[in-house]
Amino acid sequence: MEHGLKMTGQRRVIARVLSDADDHPDVEELYRRASALDSRISVATVYRTVRLLEEKGILERRDFGGGRARYEATEGGRHHYHLIDVDNGKVIEFEDPEHEELMRRVAERLGFDFVSMRLELFGKKRPQPAKETKAPARARKKKEAGS
């Protein structure tokens, strides 16, 4: 994750936290995780490091709503998309090769070489239909015996 960037010990910790993240943390969450590994890391250091990593193309900034930028490590060549639950902010990553191929064809039809794309869907989880619950077998037998 160096990309021509002087990697101090604190930057290495922050970069490791980012590369180990399986979610999309904001700066405050990055600070919490990084300072748990190295108590000398300040929130200002995290902000500066995030800015530098973003400028170098190592990190991507995402806006999933909620007023805070969230981040993820750049994954060269792998295209994935995000579905954001508007009720709880949970971000679900998914891949869709058919969608990617469609976007490639659209770019080609319009005279462009496909480079990259972003897709962020926002949705509400559908309520699950209530499952019919059956009384336990013992309860049914007692009821039948009493009838």
Domain that holds residue 97: 77-125
143 in any annotated domain: no
Say if 139 falls within a structural domain. no
Greater pLDDT, 63 or 35: 35
> Is residue 89 domain-shared with residue 110, that is, in the same domain?
yes
22 plus 48 within the same structural domain: yes
Residue 7 has pLDDT above 90, yes or no: no
For 70-82, the pLDDT digits (tens) are 777 777 666 778 8
111 or 55, higher pLDDT: 111
Q: Across residues 20-25, what is the average pLDDT?
A: 80
Domain end among 13, 40, 74: 74
pLDDT tens digits for 84-143?
A: 888 887 888 888 888 888 989 999 999 999 887 777 888 999 988 887 666 555 554 544
What would the mean pLDDT of 52-61 be, rounded to a whole number? 82
Binned at pLDDT 50, 70 and 90, residue 65 comes out as low
**Domain count across the chain:** 2
Binding-site annotation, residues for Fe cation: 79, 100
What is the CATH number for 26? 1.10.10.10
Beta-ladder partners of 71: 61
Residues 7 and 54 in one domain: yes
Return phi, psi of residue 72, to 5°: -150, 150
What CATH number should be reported for the domain holding residue 99?
Answer: 3.30.1490.190
List Cα–Cα distances, 89 to 17, 55, 66, 79, in angstroms: 21, 26, 8, 21
Confidence at residue 1, expressed as pLDDT on a 0 to 100 scale? 44
**3 shares its domain with 65:** yes
For residue 132, what are the contacts with CB-CB under 8 A and spacing of at least 6?
none
Annotated binding site: 79, 100
Whether 49 is covered by a domain: the verdict is yes
**What are residue 104's phi and psi, to 5 degrees?**
-65, -45
The three-point CA angle 16-18-24 to 5° equals 160
**Percentage above 70 pLDDT, the chain:** 82
